[in-house]
Structure 1
Amino acid sequence: MSFSYNDHEESFTNLPVYLHNIQRINPDSYTYIKTDVLDRFQLCFFAIRCVINAFLVCMLPVIFTGNVRIRGEYLNSMFVVVAMDGNNNTTPIAFGIGVANIVFPDAYHGYSSKSVLIYCLLRIGQSKNLDYLFFRACKAYTTQDFQQSFSKLSYAAREVLTNIGNKKWTRAYFPNIRWNTFAELNVIGGLLSTVFTPYAEMVLHKRMQKFLGWKVTKIPPEIPSPFPSDIFRVFDLKRTCVVDLNRHTCSCGKWRSLGIACGHAIVAARYTNNTELTDMVQIYYRADVFRTTYQTRNVNVVPPASEWEIPEQLMVVLIPM
């Protein structure tokens, strides 16, 4: 038994056997095939168990789903689901192929911010200023902040933004997927000597440099209490924000933006000895968690077709219409 590049009918027929052996070699993995009422193929996808476990235990609880157009007589879309680890790397956790690119039709479908930025850079070339203005607009919390950031971005790249709104733009791009193997990332994790991942260290350093000169004032509790009060008023040279370190809230609305506390919370934490800096960062950004993400996460290779196990109840899959 084998997949034939020339015999499409044989390939679709053997697809259930192939996915069955993926589950056999990698126990508790998930595979799925969808057919219509005539047993004709519509779509399929699979996810390996070790990757699922890494996502559930060690990665940010956020996933990105996208599709890439593929050329073929019967299939026209490839689907990939990726997640973010503690070093801001994207790791594929599920793959699929199908005859249509409409997934979750009731959900909002649009371009990711990374995809739009890539399109901009392809049109006008690399520009650090454009990167900064673009992501500042994407991360704007209030309408006013977004309008101000978008206005500056529009002035810097007016022609590009005009083309983005053109309905003729149909080319699709994926997020910046780094296709490092788990083994390579495991080696990288073993070399880390810091508490946090390099990405988290970089974000913390930038935010600490930014709040130099900010003023912090402790707000006394309204009702006397034997427990320490960790509520502060922070002036960032433009506005005053109220930070509650116990409840993990900030009036700026950006507490733990991207998993790391905002600058107001960090400067308030530095003002008191009751809060450790590790409390300002989600556990996913710790170096030890990053090492655990890719440690002993092995994907077993499916054996040659001659060694495949054929299930007793074999699903019928015919060539799609």
Structure 2
Amino acid sequence: MDRFRKAAFVTPLSHYEILGVPTNATERQIKAAYRKAARATHPDHGGDAAHFREVTLAFEVLSDPRARLEYDRSYGSAGQPRTAGGTACAGSGSYAAGPAFTTRTGQPGARAAATGPAVYVPSYDSVEASATVPLSLARQQIHGVPRKRGIFGASSRLQREARAVARLSQQILADMPSARLGNGLHAPGEHGYIDHALLAGYRLALVGSMLLPRGIFRWDGRTLHKDGRVVEPPRLAPAVRRMQDLFPELNVQGWTVIHSPDGNVHEPVIDYARGYDPGGQSLVPVVNAARLVRELKQFLSSGPAPDTVHVPSLARLLGGMHR
């Protein structure tokens, strides 16, 4: 079910956007941009005091390597000005998104539009987009790779994440030019990682993965059961809820995909316990690879403007990637 609220969301400007620099800006670029922005917004020169404070805060964070890294890992959520209603301060020049953005008049249905050429919002004809993410980076469909984290189970983790990347690349990215896949993102507000994040239009899918033996597993909405054994999937639901808070312009949902050792996309079979509704309100359903592809295609392509690459959201996602 589409969980967009009726009220229009406005994405607050990130520190990078306030200074007009890309997310990979050097220290020299940040200092130069700050001097220019400070002159333009300083009250002594006729500027607005609130905007000057935003510029100063942005420089304080981005000029400190440690603070900048923490800011990036928080998906650019710290210190962003918002009104009591949750939108950016008036006059900040934020971009309208979410349900206020509709497909263009005369276009075919959302599913057909998803296969069309990617449309960048804001357009790269303007300075806003290029100041957020370089076009060469925004054009890439895959960002990051599965990385070894820790020493226990690294081989299994790399195997399952590599399989998910291959499946998403072949059956989602190939059909949706606007889709962008990020791998190995920091989970917001906690220690841990999100295996994969798939952004298309104004929808964001978070995907966790597991590698389990073939056979039939029963899913009751919390745990998997097989032959008396209980398997608890990764705790992805808190990350889904937190990411929805951090990206109010997007509709965020999560999936946990189960891979079989031999790569059969229809294995293992996920059977649902009596009383569990797989099409209900489960925040993070557990599925095999075949069902994951079907549900992701439906979710991403049926959203508003699925042919869109929302550049500010992409920039914040890239900032939260593992590095």
Q: TM-score, normalised by structure 1?
A: 0.25
Q: Flag the structure with larger Rg.
A: 1
Q: TM-score, normalised by structure 2?
A: 0.25
